[in-house]
């Protein structure tokens, strides 16, 4: 039995997230169908992460087992012929039997794209948050430092179970402006449901003066979702990179 590790990218606009659902089209459903056609046998794939409706991925890993002897290069070429234009397989490699796309993952980096301009960009619809206000970059850079390290992020989680551990480690957050675009990169060992979107929304509230930087530590300690800021829209969020080797704490 072979164990294959596959990297892909997708535009999430047309999908209700990655994970298969009964009454909605998902990335997993489309990709499993294509894999099954290539291998000529029903095949289940295992993804590195769940993603919300409308969230994109520049690098997403899935793994699966197969007895087929198809060369990995042929697999990449063949499956892309079955996939729609908004999903692309980037690479495939054979890995040890104990590798699992989700459970072997050491960390992830998420990217949030903001188009900060009075005028909308018609080419970035559903690919970046259109934000009409001027962002206070130095202020939100200062604010983001409060989230770096190991913390209980219960205040930054939607629908977290009481039995679920809400402790996560963020290694780094970088915020850069490139002309009219603001890019926020968040690197950590794992993320709670909506965690990155709530972090971004909270930073937007800081920029607008709705939340004072001095209150961020109290918000973390509160462990109460109501204390944090808004949840930023899904269409600005990208799974940027997944890590399976020793995780560097620097971007």
What are the catalytic residues?
52
Q: How far apart are CA 132 and CA 118, in angstroms?
A: 5
The distance of Cα 31 from the centroid of its chain, to the nearest Å, equals: 18
Q: How far apart are CA 175 and CA 186, in angstroms?
A: 9
Q: CB-based contacts of 55: which residues, under 8 Å, 6+ apart? A: 12, 17, 234, 235, 237, 238, 239
Q: Comparing C-alpha atoms, which of 3, 69, 60 is closest to residue 40? A: 69
CB atoms within 10 A of CB 223: 15
Q: How far apart are CA 117 and CA 71, in angstroms?
A: 47
Intra-chain end-to-end CA distance of the chain, in Å: 36
Q: CB-based contacts of 209: which residues, under 8 Å, 6+ apart? A: none
Instruction: Supply 59's token pair.
Output: 């690098």
Instruction: Supply 79's token pair.
Output: 């499956």
Instruction: Supply 94's token pair.
Output: 């054979």
Positive or negative: CA dihedral 36, 38, 39, 44? negative
Using alpha carbons only, what angle is made at residue 208 by residues 207 and 213, rounded to the nearest 5 degrees? 50
Instruction: Supply 2's token pair.
Output: 């072979």
């Amino acid at each position: 039995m072979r164990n294959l590790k596959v990297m892909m990218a997708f535009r999430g606009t047309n999908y209700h997230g990655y994970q298969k659902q009964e009454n909605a089209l998902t990335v997993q459903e489309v990709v499993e169908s294509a894999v099954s056609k290539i291998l000529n046998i029903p095949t289940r794939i295992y993804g590195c992460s769940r993603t919300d409706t409308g969230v994109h991925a520049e690098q997403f890993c899935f793994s699966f087992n197969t007895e087929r002897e198809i060369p990995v290069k042929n697999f990449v070429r063949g499956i892309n012929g079955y996939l729609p234009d908004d999903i692309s397989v980037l690479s495939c490699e054979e890995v040890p039997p104990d590798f699992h796309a989700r459970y072997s993952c050491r960390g992830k980096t998420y990217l949030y794209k903001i188009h900060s301009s009075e005028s909308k960009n018609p080419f970035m619809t559903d690919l970046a948050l259109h934000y009409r206000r001027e962002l206070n970059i130095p202020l939100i850079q200062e604010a983001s430092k409060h989230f770096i390290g190991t913390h209980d992020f219960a205040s930054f989680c939607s629908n977290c179970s009481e039995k679920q551990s809400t402790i996560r480690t963020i290694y780094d957050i970088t915020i850069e402006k490139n002309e009219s675009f603001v890019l926020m990169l968040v690197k950590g060992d794992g993320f709670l449901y909506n965690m990155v979107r709530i972090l971004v929304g909270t930073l937007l509230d800081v920029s607008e003066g709705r939340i004072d930087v001095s209150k961020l530590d109290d918000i973390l300690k509160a462990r109460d979702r109501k204390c944090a800021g808004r949840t930023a829209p899904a269409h600005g969020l990208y799974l940027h990179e997944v890590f399976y080797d020793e995780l560097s704490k620097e971007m």
